[in-house]
């Protein structure tokens, strides 16, 4: 029996994708082998890779003047790749600090350049994003970096920051494909796959081509966007199985009606859960209403001593992965694309029962 899996990542995948992968596991399309046994240079795998890129470009509306890269090393690898590819030694870059993941991006960047933090939401305990139009980006910054959705804090930008002529870079790991995104506003978008795109092991990078050819000489080849773009992301062996599975997930998103349909589903799911939290007087949300994430919903019970019994009751009801991040505690429900509204309804029903028994 499959549970409703609310894990923040690796996370639930569409069951149709898992079944398709299962049916193709021993013999992919008459090739007589599994995708994981194929050479990445074979015409079969190159076809799989190109089809996935074409689907991603079409779903997200990626303009022609952007390269799409399928890399390894996670979003954490890109925390280093961004400064190495975009800024020479002695440069400065602007960062927005909205929580745990932006802070990690900042500490990695500090190894390579001078970071100017242009907004820091620490005074609200990272429950907000900066007001629209409030960012002062220095004109000499190599880029402005922000975290579109803070997976741990559950804080999401409801607008695209204006960086003027400075290239805008975003970590979209936990929100990519959850709703339409205007790629043309960005210089670089990167995301780990293990939330909305597929399994762990693959990192997506979308980079405007005029930002290539600037990498520092000492940039490791596997993090060098220009070298990777020139080699079709196959400078070395790519994560072939993950790439194939991402392709199947993209096909599934297409069948669901693409990103506009995903946005409707995801807004409905998030609304259902936030209404239950706000309407209860028992549960509470630590995030200001205007910055609440559709993807990661942290919530608190009135007494931390109730967390363990809540998680036990959830497990009993077939609901998994609801514990908050180990750094903050509380609860967190991740509502990625593959989580059906029935799963969110089951969570809301459990919350209502638990409040009756403990309120
Ligand atoms: N950024 C964000 C927003 C994340 O959610 C995560 C992972 N949860 C990371 C970066 C780090 O990603 P990875 O583990 O793939 O390096």
Supply the DSSP symbol for 253: H
Does any ligand 1 atom lie closer than 6 A to the CB of residue 154? no
3-class SS of residue 300 = strand
pLDDT tens figures, 334-355: 999 999 999 999 999 999 999 9
What span, in angstroms and rounded, lies between the C-alpha atoms of 176 and 168?
A: 16
Say what the pLDDT of residue 329 is: 86
- 225, 80: one domain: yes
- 222, 276: one domain: no
Positions of the chain with pLDDT lower than 70, given as ranges:
none
Which domain, by its residues, includes 128? 15-255
What span, in angstroms and rounded, lies between the C-alpha atoms of 350 and 61?
A: 39
- 331, 341: one domain: yes
Say what the pLDDT of residue 108 is: 98
- 247, 161: one domain: yes
Say what the pLDDT of residue 156 is: 98
Residue set of the binding site for L-glutamate: 41
Nearest 5°: the CA angle 70, 73, 226 is 50
Please check whether residue 179 lies inside any domain of the structure. yes
HSE-up of residue 191 (Cα within 13 Å, Cβ side) = 25
Does any ligand 1 atom lie closer than 6 A to the CB of residue 196? no
Q: Which residues contact 30 (CB under 8 A, 6 or more apart)?
A: none
- 92, 210: one domain: yes
- 197, 303: one domain: no
Please check whether residue 3 lies inside any domain of the structure. no
Mutation to probe ligand 1, out of 151, 201, 328, 332 (largest number of atoms < 8 A from CB): 151
Residue 195 among the catalytic residues: yes
- 240, 270: one domain: no
What span, in angstroms and rounded, lies between the C-alpha atoms of 47 and 337?
A: 26
Residue 171 among the catalytic residues: yes
Does any ligand 1 atom lie closer than 6 A to the CB of residue 14? no
- 111, 33: one domain: yes
Question: From the alpha carbon of 79, which atom of ligand 1 is closest?
Answer: 10
| Spacing, Cα 354 to ligand 1 middle (Å) | 32
- 326, 197: one domain: no
Burial 216-247 (b: 16+ CB within 10 A, else e): eeebeeebbbbebbeebbeeeebbbbbbbbbb
Q: What are the φ and ψ backbone dihedral angles of 323, each rounded to 5 degrees?
A: -70, 140
What span, in angstroms and rounded, lies between the C-alpha atoms of 337 and 251?
A: 13
| Spacing, Cα 29 to ligand 1 middle (Å) | 33
Question: How many CB atoms are located within 10 Å of the residue 317 CB?
Answer: 16
Structure-token match 């190109």, residue found: 50
Does any ligand 1 atom lie closer than 6 A to the CB of residue 192? yes
Residue 303 among the catalytic residues: no
Domain end (from 255, 274, 301): 255
Please check whether residue 45 lies inside any domain of the structure. yes
Could you tell me the CATH number of the domain that includes residue 116? 3.40.640.10
Tell the burial category of 327 from Cβ atoms under 10 Å away from its Cβ (0-12, 13-18, 19+): exposed
pTM given for the model: 0.98
Say what the pLDDT of residue 1 is: 87
Domain end (from 223, 255, 287): 255
Question: From the alpha carbon of 193, which atom of ligand 1 is closest?
Answer: 15
Say what the pLDDT of residue 326 is: 85
Please check whether residue 192 lies inside any domain of the structure. yes
What span, in angstroms and rounded, lies between the C-alpha atoms of 159 and 222?
A: 32
Domain end (from 255, 286, 318): 255
Q: Say which of 65, 104, 171, 294 is annotated catalytic.
A: 171
Q: Say which of 27, 28, 195, 243 is annotated catalytic.
A: 195
Question: From the alpha carbon of 76, which atom of ligand 1 is closest?
Answer: 16
**CA separation (Å) from 74 to 33, 122, 194, 203, 216?**
28, 26, 9, 5, 20
| Residue of 261, 243, 298 lying closest to 177 (CA atoms) | 261
Instruction: Name the helix (H) or strand (E) containing 286.
Output: none
pLDDT tens figures, 23-60: 999 999 999 999 999 999 999 999 999 999 999 999 99
Pairing of strands 203-208, 188-192: antiparallel
Please check whether residue 42 lies inside any domain of the structure. yes
- 224, 111: one domain: yes
Mutation to probe ligand 1, out of 103, 174, 336 (largest number of atoms < 8 A from CB): 174
Task: Name the region of 16 (left: φ>0; alpha: ψ -120 to 50; beta: rest).
Answer: alpha
- 112, 153: one domain: yes
ipTM value of the model? 0.99
Residue set of the binding site: 41, 75-76, 101, 151, 171, 194, 236-237
Does any ligand 1 atom lie closer than 6 A to the CB of residue 74? yes
Please check whether residue 5 lies inside any domain of the structure. no
Please check whether residue 9 lies inside any domain of the structure. no
Please check whether residue 163 lies inside any domain of the structure. yes
Mutation to probe ligand 1, out of 108, 173, 195, 332 (largest number of atoms < 8 A from CB): 173
Q: Which two tokens stand for residue 334?
A: 């991740």
The total of structural domains in the chain comes to: 2
- 90, 225: one domain: yes
Nearest 5°: the CA angle 233, 234, 238 is 90
């Amino acid at each position: 029996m499959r549970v409703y899996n609310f894990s923040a990542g690796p996370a639930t995948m569409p069951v149709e994708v898992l079944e398709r992968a299962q049916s193709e596991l021993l013999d992919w399309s008459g090739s007589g082998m599994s995708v994981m046994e194929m050479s990445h240079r074979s015409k079969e795998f190159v076809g799989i890779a190109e089809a996935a890129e074409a689907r991603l470009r079409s779903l997200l509306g990626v303009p022609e003047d952007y390269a799409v890269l399928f890399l390894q090393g996670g979003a954490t690898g890109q925390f280093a790749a961004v400064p190495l590819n975009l800024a020479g030694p002695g440069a400065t870059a602007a960062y927005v600090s909205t929580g745990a993941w932006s802070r990690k991006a900042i500490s990695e960047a500090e190894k390579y350049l001078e970071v100017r933090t242009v907004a820091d939401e620490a005074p609200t305990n990272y429950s907000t994003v900066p007001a629209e139009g409030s960012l002062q980006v220095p004109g000499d910054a190599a880029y402005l970096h922000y975290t579109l959705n803070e997976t741990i804090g559950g804080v999401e930008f409801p607008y695209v920051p204006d960086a003027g002529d400075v290239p805008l870079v975003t970590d979209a790991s936990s929100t990519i494909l959850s709703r339409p995104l205007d790629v043309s506003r960005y210089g670089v978008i990167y995301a780990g796959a293990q939330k909305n795109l597929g399994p762990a092991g693959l990192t997506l990078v979308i980079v405007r081509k005029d930002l290539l050819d600037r990498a520092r000489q000492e940039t490791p080849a596997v993090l060098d966007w220009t070298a990777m773009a020139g080699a079709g992301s196959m400078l070395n062996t790519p994560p072939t199985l993950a790439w194939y599975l991402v392709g199947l997930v993209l096909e599934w998103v297409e069948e669901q009606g693409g990103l506009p349909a995903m946005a409707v589903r995801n807004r409905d799911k998030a609304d259902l859960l936030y209404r239950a939290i706000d309407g209860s007087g028992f549960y509470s949300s630590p995030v200001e209403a205007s910055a609440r994430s559709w993807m990661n919903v942290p919530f608190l019970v009135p007494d931390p001593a109730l967390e363990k019994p809540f998680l036990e009751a959830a497990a009993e009801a077939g609901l998994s992965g609801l514990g908050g991040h180990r750094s903050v505690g509380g609860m967190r429900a991740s509502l990625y694309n593959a989580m059906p509204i029935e799963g969110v309804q089951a969570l809301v029903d459990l919350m209502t029962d638990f409040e009756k028994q403990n309120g």
